A and B are shown apart, each in its own frame.
Chain A
Amino acid sequence: QSALTQPASVSGSPGQSITISCTGTSSDVGSYNLVSWYQQHPGKAPKLMIYEVSKRSSGVSNRFSGSKSGNTASLTISGLQAEDEADYYCCSYAGSSNWLFGGGTKLTVL
């Protein structure tokens, strides 16, 4: 199983909105509403932001939202803030108790 496909980097100015895509296949993203998103700051453990495609984890700002269409899931961050600068990873259930991560996207806040 190959990793899910994410853009290597995205950027935006404070206050703007950005979207990070996560493309899988009909065997993972397309088959299950079990896509999650994680934020990772340098040297830190990943933090769960979104689960089950679009549900925000406890304490996560409503500036973060998730969606899915077909084999592609997306994370949107609105009202960009400097603290949002981090790496973001998507993850999907792939069946038979297996999970797949995306390659990660580095978000730069200009």
Chain B
Amino acid sequence: VQLVQSGAEVKKSGASVKVSCKASGYSFTSYYIHWVRQAPGQGLEWMGIINPGAGGTTYAQKFQGRITMTRDTSTSTVFMELSSLTSEDTAVYSCARGRVEMGDDAFDVWGQGTMVTVSP
């Protein structure tokens, strides 16, 4: 079971970034995927969740309006797009799998993280 994310990105302020998370080793549509970010030297911040089966999403209020999570069931890949980037969005972005099928009580498998750097 693993989640493999896309590579590091450098973006200008105001731009958008799209990070991918490819799942393998389990039934892709049976487990929710969360996105979590961590700014340099800071703590973990939950961003949102996607149900890869039905495609339904819930976003943290802080990001609503500029975050979009999608999935491609043909490639078992989840995407997280964040727009209107500022320097405060510089962080490592990680996907994480919900521990139980079609439910959630914790995040048991994590991607390796994708560093997104936003320059002025």
- The chain A residues found within 8 Å of chain B, CB to CB, are 1, 3, 34, 36, 38, 40, 45-48, 51-52, 57, 89, 91, 93, 96-104
Contacts and interface: CB of A to CB of B under 8 A. Distances in A.
Contacts of B112: 45
Interface of B: 34, 36, 43-46, 49, 58, 60-61, 94, 96, 99, 104-108, 110-113
Question: For the complex, would chain B's binding face be called helix, strand, loop or mixed by DSSP majority?
Answer: strand
Contacts, number: 67
Contact of B46 (A34, A45, A101): A101
Given A48-B99, A51-B99, A91-B106, A100 B46 contact: yes
A98 B113 contact: no
Contacts of A99: 34, 46, 49, 104
Contacts of B61: 1, 98
9 contacts: A3-B45, A36-B105, A47-B110, A89-B43, A96-B58, A97-B104, A98-B60, A98-B61, A101-B44
